[in-house]
Structure 1
């Protein structure tokens, strides 16, 4: 699993939640770093990404589109504190969760992607 979040405290919270339930989790501070990790680590099954990340060349929506175009075997959870996009705007195999992220909601989406 890969968590992509620019805010260190939020990233640490997400890592802790996922680690506590037994997931092997990697982290990236922006989308460019995430793409590098995804190219190097073939067994990532889920990406959890923020939308707005000032560093990096693309946002979380574009990252989700690239991930799903390149690797249909990877599910994506997109998190943002802004209004949820229409389901038709999300890439197939992606879920949207509002921030602040409730751990039980995040885990529900991840388990759905892994089943």
Structure 2
């Protein structure tokens, strides 16, 4: 299953972005995004997933951020506060559980 399939099957509404620059455009245009999953390495684009996560957490701290990678693990200080990292391969249930864990409750 693809990441999109896993998240949609878990009840998430998914908006795909090809690279970080597109993701930033989507985040500016859509105000009710609650969570984001990004890979560290994305084709094209001007920034990687770590920098995308930093920018998102700085400007939209209410968005949960999960960073995944099969090649690059975060170095000290690379993860923004509140973001989670998991190495690939990742079991679909683990991915869903971790993403849910990053989401800010609207009740608090």
The alignment's TM-score, normalised by the length of structure 1, stands at 0.83
- What residue number does 1:27 align with? 16
Q: Match of 2:2, SS?
A: helix
The 1-side partners of 2:18 and 2:80 are apart by: 22
Higher mean C-alpha deviation, range 19-28 or range 86-95: 86-95
Query: What is the number of equivalent residue pairs in this alignment?
Result: 104
Structure 1 gap segments, 5+ residues each: 1-11
Q: Match of 1:29, SS?
A: coil
Match status 1:98 vs 2:87: yes
Structure 2 gap segments, 5+ residues each: none
| Larger helix percent | 1
- What residue number does 1:8 align with? none
Match status 1:113 vs 2:102: yes
